Amino acid sequence: MAIRFYFDADIIGLGKLLVQVRPDVTYAGDRGGVGIDKKPRPPSPIVPNVPDPDWIPKTAALGWLVITRDRHMLSRRAERQEILQSGARHVRLDPSNGQLSKWDQLEILMIRWRSIEAIADEPGPWVYSASRTRLRKEL
């Protein structure tokens, strides 16, 4: 199975959890492996500690949907420009009222997963914000 979803470094713990149950998920530094479903997952070509403007076009070129909690991605000029130029597709987990624990992140992701999969193949560039109550397009 091909990789479809990339988890940003700001939620790498969630990515490490989900690779165990989804062979189409990866994160920076993922060495690949086999999840509990015995399906193989290739290693990620994205290495850790690379600036966002450098990995964003790589994930876009690979056709991956990025899942992040970076609330500043659209206000940082270089990141926004890379999203627009590369046609990247991002879903941002929205804390709405403060910090998100790993459990909160997982809850939002699971509540919105079917909606995220429904938009996963839409051409970019775009950024959606995901909360417990909605999935809203921001860009």
Q: What is the mean pLDDT of residues 13-32?
A: 95
pLDDT value for 1: 73
pLDDT value for 71: 85
50: Cα within 13 Å, side-chain hemisphere? 15
Query: Quick one: CA dihedral 20, 6, 118, 114, positive or negative?
Result: positive
Q: Is the pLDDT of residue 121 over 90?
A: yes
Q: Is the pLDDT of residue 120 over 70?
A: yes
pLDDT value for 101: 85
Query: Global pTM?
Result: 0.93
Domain ranges of the chain: 52-71+78-137
**Which is more confidently placed, 1 or 50?**
50
Q: What is the mean pLDDT of residues 7-26?
A: 94
Per the CB < 8 A criterion, the answer to whether 71 and 91 are in contact is no
The 10s digit of each residue's pLDDT in 92-119 is: 998 666 678 889 899 999 999 999 999 9
Q: What is the mean pLDDT of residues 52-67?
A: 96
74: Cα within 13 Å, side-chain hemisphere? 14
- CA–CA gap between residue 7 and residue 55 (Å, rounded): 12
* pLDDT-based confidence at residue 13 (cuts at 50, 70, 90): very high
Sequence letter at residue 9: A
